[in-house]
Chains A and B, each alone.
Chain A
Amino acid sequence: MSVLVNEMTRVIVQGVTGREGGFHASQMIAYGTKVVAGVTPGKGGTLHNDVPVFNTVAETVRATQANAAAIFVPPPFAADAMLEAIDAGLPLVVCITEGVPTLDMVRVAAALRGSRTRLIGPNCPGIISPGKCKIGIMPGQIHREGHVGVVSRSGTLTYEAVGQLTHLGIGQSTCIGIGGDPIIGTSFLDAMRLFNDDPDTHAIVMIGEIGGNAEQQAAEFIRGHVRKPVVGFIAGQTAPPGRRMGHAGAIISGGSGTAKEKYEVMAAAGIHCVQSPADIGQTLAAALSKSVAR
């Protein structure tokens, strides 16, 4: 079991003929992901690294019964690619592209409401259910099948946490990189709900950052609903205040988004808080053995 992606996931790659799209489509196929087609407007009817290419997402979905899309198109065209995938009714869309303008994401967020699509990203490493399906750019070999759900705003810090878990022999059910942009498709809260409902996920790692209050919202949900052990880390404890955090953006959310404030809310929700990024794996291992003993 896993969340959102598994052996049945049939993926199309938007931007498959580009440098990153091509490279990572091959990597996904090598991992065992069912990449059924690619989309590049104007290159329909051709093959790219043995993957059939179509002109539009709608046409691709009709021809291949795809149920997920990975987007690798450059920032100026990424919002259009997301809107096209939403319009084609794909249940899962993963946008890897970094650098999508915020006001473009305002339009995408509006299109998502009332649609049947779940968007992950943009500006994220993607999603992987180890041994089953990888949609994204994460190095597949550091993962291992198992029962820990990992959710993170950061790409490489997710790899760090996963690497520690695997090193300790602890596998993962699904790892979701939700992306670091101000407006994203799937929040910590959404991911937390999915992991909580998945019987095969026994514990959860949440890796946050300073800024905004998405971690606090997830912590509130955990306090009320989650009985599985949760380990939490916030990056940026030593970041100088006022440099990277959104200025007036944090006001309306009612908080200032410091690491200290997030840790307080997380600890109050019963989350096992980790101060050093090197201790994520060990803390999860300890929390798991304690919860099994109980």
Chain B
Amino acid sequence: MKIHEYQAKEIFRRFGVPTPRGEMVTTAEDARKVAQKLGVPVVVVKAQIHAGGRGKGGGVKLARSADEAAKLASKILGMNLITPQTCPGGRIVRRLLVEEGLDIKHELYLSVLVDRAVEAPVVLGSAAGGMEIEEVARENPAAILSETIGPAVGLQPYIARKLAFSLGLTAELAQAAVPFLQSLYRAFIETDASLAEINPLVVTDDGRLIALDAKMNFDDNALYRHNEEDPLEVEASNYKLNYIKLDGTVGCMVNGAGLAMATMDIIKLAGGAPANFLDVGGGASADQVKNAFKILTSDKEVRSVFINIFGGILRCDVLATGVVAAARELQLKLPVVVRMEGTNVEQGRQILRDSGLNFTIGENMKDGAEKAVRLAGGAR
């Protein structure tokens, strides 16, 4: 799960990671008030969307007065921000962060994430602040410093010092880096984050370390532990559903992420294009299947539906019950191809037959995909 920069900074402050002073606003008038309150010569107005590269897209501006802050805010609010990391259509900006501008001496990169290769959290640092870390990794991997944190020992002061000195910080700043990094690490662990990234981390002219930007992603599997936390709760509502919209015409409903991806692949090989990735998951109930079916058929591009189920923990009879219920309720006109195998497959097929609805049976994965592509009107 992702949250906005201003929400990540709230978490940072709660754990003692220094950030610029600022507030989130949703109107130009509030932007003016916050700029006045900050009382500094320069404020920064930053669009809050779930994508990086906001500066390049015109979503980050400097203002030299409260009036200018309000003017910029009214321009950015409601604008459709397109950056290299948004979908091609961009994102509408609904929230802004208004912050104090700082005198920056230099910029660094810092992040904490779980490295699956070493099965532990790692802290990454780089002197190339402001650059995307993927780019640094491609062009100059040696410039990325990495420290693995043993889960039992935690982030000890020496690790913070080692990173700080390797990044070329002064002895004084290396000392300040200890509580900074320990706070960041604690924020990462205690919120079950999958990524806590500061890019850039800045050293100010007056010798302070400050998280100028903040990005946090969270482990969806651990959301149950954090229900009391606002920023997490806000976005958690629909996390259960594993659905990604694509631009094809064959709607897919599959159990298991691997089979779901393979189903997309085989639709492409059959000359069609998948309209979505949808994994109904292992222990789905008939009701969840029904809801999943509703969502995928609400996509106006969908011309046919391919249901590809290999029952294991999900039983075919449960799936069939959900599909029939959804098709009835939605009075579905779309052609539906069903391919089922595995646990309770006979009961599942019986339920489809008894429903009186017009389902096309796929003999196997390839046959099902070809039929679904044909029913969708063939290749585009």
Chain A positions within 8 Å of B, measured between CB atoms, are: 20, 24, 75-76, 96, 98-107, 109-110, 125, 137-139, 142, 152-160, 163, 180, 182-183, 207, 209-210, 212-213, 233, 235-240, 242-244, 246-249, 251-254, 275-278
Assembly CA distance A156 to B134 (angstroms): 33
Chain B residues with Cβ below 8 Å from A239 are 261, 264, 277
A212 contacts B116, CB within 8 Å?
A: yes
B222 contacts A249, CB within 8 Å?
A: no
A252 contacts B122, CB within 8 Å?
A: yes
B83, chain A: closest CB distance, angstroms: 13
Stretch at the interface among B20-28, B144-152, B297-305, B320-328: B144-152
Chain B residues with Cβ below 8 Å from A254 are 137, 141
Given the known interface contacts A139-B312, A276-B266, A276-B269, the answer about A103 and B222 at a Cβ–Cβ threshold of 8 Å is yes
A217, chain B: closest CB distance, angstroms: 9
A278 contacts B266, CB within 8 Å?
A: yes
Chain A residues with Cβ below 8 Å from B254 are 156
Assembly CA distance A240 to B276 (angstroms): 11
Assembly CA distance A240 to B152 (angstroms): 37
Given the known interface contacts A75-B224, A248-B113, A248-B195, the answer about A106 and B119 at a Cβ–Cβ threshold of 8 Å is yes
Verify if B100 is at the interface (C-beta below 8 Å from A): no
A163 contacts B341, CB within 8 Å?
A: yes
Contact of B282 among A103, A155, A209, A236 (CB under 8 A): A155
Given the known interface contacts A98-B282, A157-B256, the answer about A142 and B341 at a Cβ–Cβ threshold of 8 Å is yes
A252 contacts B146, CB within 8 Å?
A: yes
Assembly CA distance A110 to B153 (angstroms): 11
Chain A residues with Cβ below 8 Å from B124 are 248, 251-252
B268 contacts A237, CB within 8 Å?
A: yes
Chain B residues with Cβ below 8 Å from A102 are 114, 192, 194, 219, 221-222
Chain B residues with Cβ below 8 Å from A152 are 258
Assembly CA distance A207 to B259 (angstroms): 10
Closest to B264 in A: A238
A/B interface sample: 14 pairs, CB < 8 A: A24-B313, A103-B222, A110-B120, A139-B312, A154-B256, A154-B258, A156-B258, A157-B256, A159-B310, A209-B261, A236-B261, A246-B116, A249-B194, A277-B262
Residues facing A in B112-134 (CB within 8 A) are 113-117, 119-122, 124, 133-134
Closest to A213 in B: B117
B114 contacts A155, CB within 8 Å?
A: no
Chain A residues with Cβ below 8 Å from B116 are 182-183, 212, 246, 249, 253
Assembly CA distance A249 to B116 (angstroms): 7
A100 contacts B221, CB within 8 Å?
A: yes
Verify if B19 is at the interface (C-beta below 8 Å from A): no
Contact of A240 among B197, B246, B341, B366 (CB under 8 A): B246
Q: A157-B256, A235-B262 are in contact. List 12 more A-B contacts (CB 8 A).
A: A152-B258, A160-B262, A238-B274, A240-B244, A246-B116, A251-B134, A251-B137, A252-B146, A276-B265, A277-B265, A278-B364, A278-B366
B316, chain A: closest CB distance, angstroms: 10
Q: Which of B255, B261, B266 has the most CB of A within 10 A?
A: B261
Verify if B101 is at the interface (C-beta below 8 Å from A): no
Closest to A233 in B: B262
Chain B residues with Cβ below 8 Å from A125 are 312-313
Contact of B133 among A20, A207, A244, A248 (CB under 8 A): A248
A157 contacts B312, CB within 8 Å?
A: no
Query: What number of B residues sit within 8 Å (CB to CB) of A?
Result: 65
A69, chain B: closest CB distance, angstroms: 18
Assembly CA distance A224 to B151 (angstroms): 34
Chain B residues with Cβ below 8 Å from A160 are 259, 262, 310, 341, 365
Verify if B342 is at the interface (C-beta below 8 Å from A): yes
Chain B 312-354, CB-CB to A under 8 Å as 1, else 0, gives 1100000000000000000000000000011100000000000
Chain A residues with Cβ below 8 Å from B261 are 209-210, 235-239
Assembly CA distance A253 to B137 (angstroms): 10
Chain B residues with Cβ below 8 Å from A158 are 258
Chain B residues with Cβ below 8 Å from A100 are 221
Chain A residues with Cβ below 8 Å from B377 are none
Chain B residues with Cβ below 8 Å from A142 are 341-342
A235, chain B: closest CB distance, angstroms: 4
B313 contacts A20, CB within 8 Å?
A: yes
Chain B 363-380, CB-CB to A under 8 Å as 1, else 0, gives 011100000000000000
A103 contacts B192, CB within 8 Å?
A: yes
A232, chain B: closest CB distance, angstroms: 13
Residues facing A in B209-229 (CB within 8 A) are 217, 219, 221-222, 224-225
Residues facing A in B97-118 (CB within 8 A) are 111, 113-117
Residues facing A in B182-197 (CB within 8 A) are 189, 192, 194-195, 197
Assembly CA distance A278 to B254 (angstroms): 15
Contact of A154 among B134, B146, B259, B313 (CB under 8 A): B259
Verify if B257 is at the interface (C-beta below 8 Å from A): yes
Verify if B53 is at the interface (C-beta below 8 Å from A): no
Assembly CA distance A153 to B258 (angstroms): 7
Contact of A249 among B113, B152, B263, B365 (CB under 8 A): B113
Contact of A103 among B219, B274, B309 (CB under 8 A): B219
Assembly CA distance A24 to B197 (angstroms): 42
Residues facing A in B245-303 (CB within 8 A) are 246, 254-259, 261-269, 274, 277, 281-283
Q: Which of B146, B225, B264, B343 has the most CB of A within 10 A?
A: B343
Verify if B311 is at the interface (C-beta below 8 Å from A): yes
Contact of B311 among A139, A183, A251 (CB under 8 A): A139
A251 contacts B150, CB within 8 Å?
A: no
Assembly CA distance A209 to B277 (angstroms): 14
Pairs A-B, 4 closest by C-beta atoms: A154-B258, A156-B256, A101-B222, A278-B366
Closest to B369 in A: A278
B283 contacts A20, CB within 8 Å?
A: yes
Given the known interface contacts A139-B343, A276-B269, the answer about A183 and B365 at a Cβ–Cβ threshold of 8 Å is no
Chain A residues with Cβ below 8 Å from B281 are 98
Q: Which of B115, B225, B254 has the most CB of A within 10 A?
A: B115
Contact of B265 among A101, A153, A236, A240 (CB under 8 A): A236
Contact of A110 among B152, B255, B267 (CB under 8 A): B152
